[in-house]
A and B are shown apart, each in its own frame.
Chain A
Amino acid sequence: DTGVSQDPRHKITKRGQNVTFRCDPISEHNRLYWYRQTLGQGPEFLTYFQNEAQLEKSRLLSDRFSAERPKGSFSTLEIQRTEQGDSAMYLCASSDRGEDTQYFGPGTRLTVL
């Protein structure tokens, strides 16, 4: 039984560069979520997919951020023209149809220099 996986676990980039993160949910989970967590805070919701459809986006998700889940399985989160304020832990979670609990991956820690 594999849990949610995320790649990479750590990413260091220079300001202005683009980065892409990948999330593989628990197999057969049709719901997938992205969160951002900054130091000293709890995770903040970014976006939600049900299968391949992106059904909800937070206003935290500026136009530099884009997320996809092309075949309803894995998802990618891309940040264009990164800024130092984007430095955070990016967490992915998935849940099954009819379930209340979201299961999280290990996160991708982004550092923008």
Chain B
Amino acid sequence: AQKITQTQPGMFVQEKEAVTLDCTYDTSDPSYGLFWYKQPSSGEMIFLIYQGSYDQQNATEGRYSLNFQKARKSANLVISASQLGDSAMYFCAMREGGSGGYQKVTFGIGTKLQVIP
């Protein structure tokens, strides 16, 4: 089974609108972490947001928030007030195992977001 599933190959959003990028995960480890990274056409992976499996509240970082639904094993990324510079590939990723230890991270295949002026 895929550890990280991103079912939206591509998404369009109007500038200034909000958009949700879907991510579901599969793990039997009680301790894990979920990440979202942005990859512009230049290739660099830019860290956006992190959610630990024991965190009680959904993570937020500026215009990014992570809608964490543990029972559903979903970790959707919400981008509010989209900007043209948000056009990029977005990857969901998961760390399994205890925090602060060895960090093997598994990535999904990504969602291409295009922001329309």
Contact = CB atoms under 8 A, between A and B. Distances in A.
Nearest to A40: B109
A108 to B, nearest CB: 9
A93 B44 CA distance: 10
A110 interface: no
B37 A56 contact: no
Nearest to B4: A42
A104 B45 contact: yes
Contacts of A103: 47
B25 to A, nearest CB: 13
Given A42-B91, A104-B45, A99 B37 contact: no
Q: Interface extent on B, as a size class?
A: 20 to 34
Given A42-B110, A100-B33, A104-B37, A91 B45 contact: yes
B62 interface: no
B30 interface: no
A82 interface: no
B42 A99 contact: no
A102 interface: yes
Interface in B7-35: 33, 35
A42 B6 CA distance: 11
A109 B100 contact: no
Contact of B43 (A42, A45, A56, A109): A109
25 contacts: A33-B103, A40-B109, A41-B109, A42-B109, A43-B45, A43-B91, A44-B107, A45-B104, A45-B105, A48-B103, A55-B102, A97-B100, A98-B100, A100-B33, A100-B50, A100-B95, A101-B35, A101-B47, A103-B47, A104-B37, A104-B46, A104-B47, A106-B42, A106-B43, A106-B44
Interface of A: 31, 33, 40-45, 48, 50, 55-56, 89, 91, 93, 95, 97-107, 109
